[in-house]
């Protein structure tokens, strides 16, 4: 379970990295692990503490797809959209997944059960199309896999 935003706790995270070179990425990872996302308040605090601009911190946080500005659902489905998966009808399966759960890329279902994200290669090219549900790889996706995903997330 993630903690609600707490400036004191966030400051403790940042200060753990005092004196270390290149602390921004580890700080962002720890903030997200603690709060479930990197909220705008954290961007401001990190920038101040590291003597960076908010734009610099935001630029790094928004560049990497794994950082979020709001918490994800209880489950996260990463659907591969790389060329190998596209060549094996991955786009059609991806559209079926989005339609089935009624969300767009990067969105969370209204009940908070599932967030669907695009990713660009899971390394399962020989088993395309592929996805990863809560860090568990899923290969050779087809419409039956969508039903399996729905069962896993309780929908």
Give the per-residue pLDDT at 66: 85
pLDDT, mean of residues 126-139: 95
Average pLDDT, the chain: 94
1 confidence band (pLDDT: 50, 70, 90) = low
Find the length of the chain.
155
- Is the pLDDT reported for residue 148 higher than 80? yes
Give the per-residue pLDDT at 38: 97
∠ CA 24-116-141, nearest 5°, is: 120
Give the per-residue pLDDT at 143: 84
| CB-CB contact of 131 with 96 (8 Å) | no
- Residue spans per domain, the chain: 7-63, 75-152
pLDDT > 90 in the chain, percent: 86
Structure tokens at 93: 């399966």
- Is the pLDDT reported for residue 155 higher than 80? no
- Identify the CA nearest to 112 among candidates 33, 34, 9, 1: 1
Phi-psi region for residue 89, left (φ > 0), alpha (ψ -120 to 50) or beta?
left
> pLDDT tens-digit profile of 2-44?
789 999 999 999 999 999 999 999 999 999 999 999 999 999 9
CATH topology of domain 75-152: Glutaredoxin (3.40.30)
């Amino acid at each position: 379970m993630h903690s609600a935003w707490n400036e004191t706790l966030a400051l403790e995270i940042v200060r753990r990295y005092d004196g270390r070179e290149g602390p921004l990425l580890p700080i962002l990872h720890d903030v997200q692990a603690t709060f479930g996302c990197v909220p705008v308040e954290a961007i401001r605090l990190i920038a101040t503490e590291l003597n960076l601009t908010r734009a610099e911190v935001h630029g790094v946080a928004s560049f990497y797809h794994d950082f979020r500005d709001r918490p994800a659902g209880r489950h996260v489905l990463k659907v591969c959209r790389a060329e190998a998966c596209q060549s094996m009808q991955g786009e059609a399966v991806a559209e079926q997944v989005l339609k089935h759960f009624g969300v767009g890329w990067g969105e969370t279902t209204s009940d908070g059960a599932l967030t669907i994200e695009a990713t660009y290669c899971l390394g399962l090219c020989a088993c395309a199309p592929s996805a990863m549900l809560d860090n568990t790889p899923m290969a050779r996706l087809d419409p039956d896999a969508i039903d399996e995903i729905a069962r896993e997330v309780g929908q």
